[in-house]
Structure 1
Amino acid sequence: MSFLAAHLSRVKPSATLAVTQKARDIRATGRKVMDLSAGEPDFDTPDNIKQAAIEAIRRGETKYPPVPGIVPLRQAISDKFRNENRLEYKPEQVIVGTGGKQILYNAFAATLDPGDEVLIPAPYWVSYPEMVMLNRGEPRIVDCPIETGFRLTPEALEAAITPKTKWLLLNSPSNPSGAGYSADQLRAIGEVLLRHPDVWVLTDDMYEHLLYTDEPFATIAEVEPRLKDRTLTMNGVSKTYAMTGWRIGYAAGPDILVKAMTMIQGQQTSGACTIAQWAAVEALTGPQDFVETSKQAFRERRDLVVSMLNQANGIDCPLPEGAFYVYPSCAGTIGKRAPSGRTIETDEDFVSELLDAEGVAVVHGSAFGLGPNFRISYATSTEVLEEACTRIQRFCNALN
């Protein structure tokens, strides 16, 4: 009998973390590496947020917090949903976790029985299917190719739903593609879901404030209120306020689900760090100048990267609507020979040869469920992006 649980054999380590570690290892040898693999803003957390954390420490806010989050933060989140998303949630319908990952994981832990299916549009964030499998569910991947703008269509959704479907997981703007859903597109998806009353929606809105279209951000419970009673709306402070290390995610949804998630969290980690929670209160209620400033910087970087990649032989890079990723196709490089003499047969070969030849670390698209593509994070300086894209152009020009 194996000591480890059998279902762990189905789960893979995070590809993005693996690439980031490989880049660190190469850098430790003294070689320069341009790391475009990590999905982390390069900006520092705003000073007013850091100051709020310092003041919380001085006030002695260092004891166990309530499991679902301190009341001022849950109230601030409730106000944020009302003011920004036109969604009414009581503070009691809000839960705060140690990052968005814990929110997602606990939602699956609270609802999935063996054999239950979760619909996951591909390309997807690498952790989605693994979290489903860790909770003994079945990820059902729905391909959303470049022809659909990497977005789920109502027709594809309808075809994917089975009697075992328990959740649809939506992420807008998307990691890894940057694709965003408009209100009309979400409304069309909602029409399908209304015909299937047993399917719930888990919407990951972590990149809400990094949307570059003229149309405002929309979330599905907002545009289709009839789905609100079976929707969990998840968000966090990591990307918007450059607070990745503070580990604060949150969600709001129906009482029955939030209570179940709170029970699980109470037996798992208890409440998130009190100091980080007080910092998150300031993030949500304090000055918001940083949000627009960083958004403008990311938009300029996006435009630079898309332009330079589309000048590389064999690369086709669509213009994403949001987040801080591009998801170009490298199909035009498949079958060509790299400077090492190796033939590129997959997107994983492409990113491996690129790292070895030019010291540029990106993540292969097959890790996100759809290739041949690769993901670049442009959450780094313009100088680094220009140099990295120049190296990618040089690498592609050297293929034959």
Structure 2
Amino acid sequence: MAFIADALARVKPSATIAVTQKARDLKAQGRDVISLSVGEPDFDTPDNIKKAGIAAIERGDTKYPPVLGIMPLREAIAAKFKRENGLDYKAAQTVVGTGGKQILYNAFLTTLNKGDEVIIPAPYWVSYPDMVLINGGEPVFVATTMAHSFKLQPEDLERAITPRTKWLVLNSPSNPSGAAYTRDELKALTDVLMRHPQVWVLTDDMYEHLVYGDFVFTTPAQVEPGLMDRTLTMNGVSKAYAMTGWRIGYAAGPAELIKAMDMVQGQQTSGACTIAQWASVEALNGPQDFIPVRRKAFEERRDLVVSMLNQAQHLKCPSPEGAFYVYPSCAGAIGKKGPSGKVIQSDEDFVSELLEAQGVAVVHGSAFGLGPNFRISYATSTAVLEDACRKIQRFTAELR
């Protein structure tokens, strides 16, 4: 269509949303479908947080908010970064957006000039490259390996940096792999970045509270204070507080960047929903005791899924440190014939055959920039996960 902007030719729809919609469509046709494609906690928003939102409505806190967020939330964000991450940000250095997506998008919108490069380790969350492309930048993908637990290696980062590199995007724990960087692993990467002062760091810490065993979460600016003046530390309430639909993301960074993001957001959406902001104040300042309980439930689900997938023929599934995803390899299934008689030639073929044959919806790894793998979200009940994994075992056993 002639009047559509040329920039849109560079982007594609979200693969995770597409798979989720396909699963919904099959369900609507009467098919029995288990969808493991959505990155959304199955827990409900805690009651104290809901009540804070209701209280905001009842006292009339429903007017336009400031663009960067209501001050009690920005103060709560600064306090959270100090308390949990040892980062000294002032409330004036924070920004509240309509979900983490808006924070990321506006960071690229305010900083990228045509041809600027953004380093994105693969596998990556599907939205990063398209956000870069639509804002005129060039994503530079750096493949990771299962042998290195899908983590960016310092020598690969060093090789990828050029004079045009503007950002490194670092997501830990990762969507889709669940990989999380230890302090030492982050230090090796920040040592590289300290040699390249033109490169900024955009952290996506959305899954910070979902780490397992004795893993200790750290974030780049905490590991290397020398990066504070070129790091945007992004987080949100979606995952830890089960507030996906409330749509609140936040970040802290250098004042000059926050000022630029304020300007574009003011011409875009203005401030995020006031009611959701007051609920988020309660999320950050209120009781945190439910987090370890839910984290334990996720950890048990992870262990179940990893164990059952490793019992499936032709699959290998590493055990990730965090988030609520596993990223098994289906390399052993490539070249095999599926139940329909079709030869599986890619991870996309694998997930398509799995959906048709057993009604289990997962997302192909090539959508995240690295295959042949697929992503499973285990943010659902143990009973559903057991059923899904049995069906995956049945499917792989039928491959010839």
Q: Same fold (TM over 0.5)?
A: yes
SS in 1 for 2:232: strand
Kindly state the Cα deviation for residue 215 of structure 1 after the two structures are TM-superposed. 3.2
Say if 2:375 is the partner of 1:375.
yes
Cα deviations by residue, 1:226-252 (Å, 9 ceiling, x for unpaired) = 001000000000000000000000000
Q: Percent identity?
A: 72
SS in 1 for 2:371: coil
Kindly state the Cα deviation for residue 4 of structure 1 after the two structures are TM-superposed. 1.1
For 1:213 and 1:85, locate their aligned partners in 2 and report how far apart those are by CA, in whole Å: 19
Kindly state the Cα deviation for residue 289 of structure 1 after the two structures are TM-superposed. 1.5
Is contact 2:175-2:323 (8 Å) kept? Answer: yes
The one-letter code sitting in structure 1 at the alignment partner of 2:20 is T
2:73 corresponding residue in structure 1: 73
Aligned residues: 400
TM score, norm. by length of structure 1? 0.99
SS in 2 for 1:232: strand
For 1:194 and 1:41, locate their aligned partners in 2 and report how far apart those are by CA, in whole Å: 36
Kindly state the Cα deviation for residue 2 of structure 1 after the two structures are TM-superposed. 2.5
Is contact 2:37-2:375 (8 Å) kept? Answer: yes
SS in 1 for 2:379: coil
Matches within 5 A, 1:330-369: 330-369=330-369
The one-letter code sitting in structure 2 at the alignment partner of 1:126 is V
2:290 corresponding residue in structure 1: 290
Say if 2:195 is the partner of 1:161.
no
The one-letter code sitting in structure 1 at the alignment partner of 2:368 is F
1:204 corresponding residue in structure 2: 204
Kindly state the Cα deviation for residue 30 of structure 1 after the two structures are TM-superposed. 1.0
Cα deviations by residue, 1:155-180 (Å, 9 ceiling, x for unpaired) = 00000001110000000000000000
Is contact 2:316-2:329 (8 Å) kept? Answer: yes
Is contact 2:176-2:326 (8 Å) kept? Answer: yes
Cα deviations by residue, 1:293-345 (Å, 9 ceiling, x for unpaired) = 11000000000000000000000000000000000000000000001000000
C-alpha RMSD of the superposition: 0.7
Kindly state the Cα deviation for residue 148 of structure 1 after the two structures are TM-superposed. 1.4
Kindly state the Cα deviation for residue 44 of structure 1 after the two structures are TM-superposed. 0.6
The one-letter code sitting in structure 1 at the alignment partner of 2:373 is N
The one-letter code sitting in structure 1 at the alignment partner of 2:173 is P
For 1:215 and 1:35, locate their aligned partners in 2 and report how far apart those are by CA, in whole Å: 29
1:245 corresponding residue in structure 2: 245
For 1:297 and 1:284, locate their aligned partners in 2 and report how far apart those are by CA, in whole Å: 21
For 2:29 and 2:74, locate their aligned partners in 1 and report how far apart those are by CA, in whole Å: 46
Kindly state the Cα deviation for residue 31 of structure 1 after the two structures are TM-superposed. 1.2
The one-letter code sitting in structure 1 at the alignment partner of 2:125 is W
For 1:235 and 1:21, locate their aligned partners in 2 and report how far apart those are by CA, in whole Å: 26
For 1:149 and 1:20, locate their aligned partners in 2 and report how far apart those are by CA, in whole Å: 26
2:215 corresponding residue in structure 1: 215
The one-letter code sitting in structure 2 at the alignment partner of 1:191 is D
The one-letter code sitting in structure 1 at the alignment partner of 2:357 is A
2:176 corresponding residue in structure 1: 176
1:3 corresponding residue in structure 2: 3
1:303 corresponding residue in structure 2: 303
- Which range is displaced more, 285-294 or 219-228? 285-294
Matches within 5 A, 1:19-98: 19-98=19-98
For 2:373 and 2:59, locate their aligned partners in 1 and report how far apart those are by CA, in whole Å: 50
The one-letter code sitting in structure 2 at the alignment partner of 1:216 is V
TM score, norm. by length of structure 2? 0.99
The one-letter code sitting in structure 2 at the alignment partner of 1:8 is L
Question: Which structure 2 residue ranges, 5 or more long, are not aligned?
Answer: none
